[in-house]
Each structure stands twice: as structure tokens, then as C-alpha cells.
Amino acid sequence: MQIFLSILVGLVWGAVFGLINAAVTRKLASGSEQQLSSMSLIRTLIDVVALAAVYFTRNLLPLQFQYTLIATAVSLSVIGIVVAFQVSKTMRK
């Protein structure tokens, strides 16, 4: 049960930060070339903050750290890929 809860929390936590990344991507994707280069840095920082939060709360929460971290990374990646495809479709039109 603890593993399931760890995975669920990780997926939700990653989805929250993935949606924040999506909002940043959509906001900056239609901007200038300078905004596009800063978008990459901002997205990376958001990912680092999400994963660091899991790392620093590993001893505070009764969750399996490994499962939570992997689920967070998977959720961030999947949402990032979906948003990248959506944004690239709108940029081609």
C-alpha cells in the first residue's frame, strides 16, 4: 500500500509541476527568440524544484523515496512531451 501511495503522490506532484511547465511553455512559445531560449532555462529550473522537493521531503513523509522520485520524473516527462507536441503543432500553422 505504501508503494502505491508513493507512486500516486509522485504522479500528482509531477503533474502539478508539469502543468506549471506547460503554462510557461505556452506563454513563452509565441514570443521572440530571446524568450524561447529563456523558456528552456525556466522549464529546467521548474523540473529541478519539483525533484528537489521530493528529495528534501524524503525523511518527512512516510513514502518510499525511490518510487515517489521516479513517478514524479515520469509525470514531468509525459506532460512535457505532450505539451511540446501541442505547441509545435500550433507553431507550424
**22-36 residue pLDDT tens:** 998 888 777 666 777
User: Hey, what's the cell of 85?
Assistant: 507536441
- What's the whole-number mean pLDDT along residues 11-18? 95
Can you tell me the distance from the alpha carbon of 14 to that of 30, in angstroms, rounded to the nearest whole number?
Answer: 25
CA 34 to chain centroid: 22
Residue showing cell 513523509: 61
Can you tell me the distance from the alpha carbon of 5 to that of 23, in angstroms, rounded to the nearest whole number?
Answer: 27
- Global pTM? 0.85
Annotate 58-88 with DSSP letters as a single string. Answer: TTTSSS-HHHHHHHHHHHHHHHHHHHHHHHH
Q: How confident is the model at residue 66 (pLDDT cuts 50, 70, 90)?
A: very high
